[in-house]
Chains A and B, each alone.
Chain A
Amino acid sequence: DTAVSQTPKYLVTQMGNDKSIKCEQNLGHDTMYWYKQDSKKFLKIMFSYNNKELIINETVPNRFSPKSPDKAHLNLHINSLELGDSAVYFCASSQDPYEQFFGPGTRLTVL
């Protein structure tokens, strides 16, 4: 049973397009996150979402928006994709803020 799943695993798209990445967790956790890992392997938190409270990393462009239809899902929408958005995006969830469970990642390539 996959604890945190993401779809798609790979996403290749053109600049200017709008795309979404889906995330689902079956752990019953209250908090979900999105992270971006760039080519230098730095992992940066983008959003955390808990009980309808969204906390946004101030460096994240407003082209990125998380949407949570329910507690088990936190999808990431990206508008007007840019070359610099190419990265691996990880979804995570947790009950304890320190022990986060990460998904397998989505590799986004913007051409």
Chain B
Amino acid sequence: LAKTTQPISMDSYEGQEVNITCSHNNIATNDYITWYQQFPSQGPRFIIQGYKTKVTNEVASLFIPADRKSSTLSLPRVSLSDTAVYYCLVAEGNYGQNFVFGPGTRLSVLP
């Protein structure tokens, strides 16, 4: 299983763009990169998934360089409600049994 490394915590201010980088040096050819968000006392929520290059949805963008050894989750113009833990996962499919959630990055958005 590819191991991921993320910053333990980050602070930001409302309205700023936040970039959270995840390192996954041992990513395998069949692995996809997925990001989840978890608020206190709630289950994780899927944010975005990608294999290579850039993926964008209504919530975030995911940038993946050509070597795929890292990925960056970009949250545009964060608000207080974006305060949460963000998890980077690297796994092959097969019904997610390879999903290993690390400690994640605790993002605190300040007013």
**Which residues in A have some Cβ–Cβ distance to B below 8 Å?**
4, 31, 33, 35, 40-45, 48, 50, 55, 57, 90, 92, 94, 97-105
Contacts and interface: CB of A to CB of B under 8 A. Distances in A.
A41 B103 contact: yes
Q: Give the most central of A41, A90, A94, A105: most B CB within 10 Å.
A: A41
B36 to A, nearest CB: 8
Given A98-B34, A103-B43, A105-B41, A41 B104 contact: yes
Interface of B: 32, 34, 41-46, 49, 85, 87, 91, 93-97, 99-104
Determine chain A's interface SS by DSSP, over half rule: strand
B45 to A, nearest CB: 7
Contacts of B97: 45, 48, 55, 57
A101 to B, nearest CB: 7
26 contacts: A31-B96, A33-B96, A35-B101, A42-B101, A42-B103, A44-B100, A44-B101, A45-B96, A48-B95, A55-B95, A55-B97, A90-B43, A90-B44, A97-B91, A97-B94, A97-B95, A97-B96, A98-B32, A98-B46, A98-B91, A98-B93, A98-B96, A101-B46, A102-B45, A103-B43, A104-B43
Given A100-B46, A105-B41, A105-B42, A41 B95 contact: no
Contacts of B44: 43, 90, 100, 102
A86 B20 CA distance: 31
Contact of A99 (B41, B46, B94, B103): B46
A33 B91 CA distance: 16
Pick the 8 closest A-B CB pairs, nearest first: A102-B43, A43-B101, A97-B93, A97-B96, A99-B46, A48-B97, A48-B95, A55-B97
